[in-house]
Amino acid sequence: MAAQGPGTLAHSPLYFAAWNRDGTLDRVHDALRARVGSRVGRQPSPSAGVVDAQPLRGADPVGTPARGYDAGTKANGRGRHIVVDSIALLLVVMLTAASLQGSDRGHGMLRRVHRAHVGVRRVVADDGDTGQLVAWAARAWRMTLDIVRKPPRQQDLAAILRPWVMGRTFASTMHCQRLVRDYERTIAHPAAMVKWAMVGLVVRRHAPSSGRRAWVDRR
């Protein structure tokens, strides 16, 4: 995948809109993710995921109804919310206004996870998604929502449950300049851009070049 964007087809209005609308992009992405997972002994249907959000500054084309201000991150735009499996492959992506509260976006994310991957029974989230969300997930979807909290006296990041998984996915997708900032008028388009970026990543993991492979453990 070239550094300037998620892929050639993603820049073609004809294919980009049509494949996103009719589900072709989802089928291509899911098939590639399942194939990469099978190479490392994973089942085609994931059973667990990790959810997190990333603030995304919006350019001028991002309209007022689809953007908001996040006082915590000082970002004026949208929030990019993703769920990945244990090997950092994308399961679900959702874009919202950056001002949307944690419990509200948590409901939306868990609902999407259940619809797309009914086998997921455990989701790990940060302490921003609390309140009644844990009970709701168990009651509505029979899903265990694990809230990761830092120890009271710890100031740095807590080493809990593969903390590198989500950061690895965000870091990989941010190599695509189109994902560094949000330029899209609609919610659907930036979500599709994330999927195109992941298509390029899983293709390289399935059929790697002879160069350096960042995901290989060299120990």
Q: What is the pLDDT of residues 105-122, one digit of tens each?
A: 888 899 999 999 999 999
What letter does residue 58 receive in the DSSP assignment?
B
> What percent of the chain has pLDDT above 70?
79
pLDDT tens readout for residues 174-216: 888 888 888 888 888 889 999 999 999 888 887 776 665 555 5
How many other C-beta atoms lie within 10 A of the C-beta of residue 187? 17
The pLDDT-based confidence of 128 (bands split at 50, 70, 90) is low
pLDDT of residue 104: 79
Predicted pLDDT at 158:
47
Q: Which residues pair with 97 in a beta bridge?
A: 78
Q: For residue 202, which of 30, 55, 48, 71 has the smallest C-alpha distance?
A: 30
Domains, the chain: 9-206 (3.30.420.10)
Spatial contact of 202 and 89, defined as CB atoms under 8 Å apart:
yes
Confidence of residue 3 (pLDDT cuts 50, 70, 90): very low
Residue 153 binned pLDDT confidence (cut-offs 50, 70, 90): low
What is the chain's mean pLDDT, rounded? 80
Find the length of the chain: 219
Q: What is the pLDDT of residue 216?
A: 56
Q: How many helices (H) and strands (E) does the chain have?
A: 6, 6
Query: What does the pLDDT read at residue 166?
Result: 75
**So what's the pLDDT on residue 4?**
43
- Which pLDDT tens digit goes with each residue over 7-35? 444 456 678 889 999 999 999 999 999 98
The predicted-structure confidence for 37-54, as pLDDT tens digits, reads as follows: 888 888 888 999 998 888
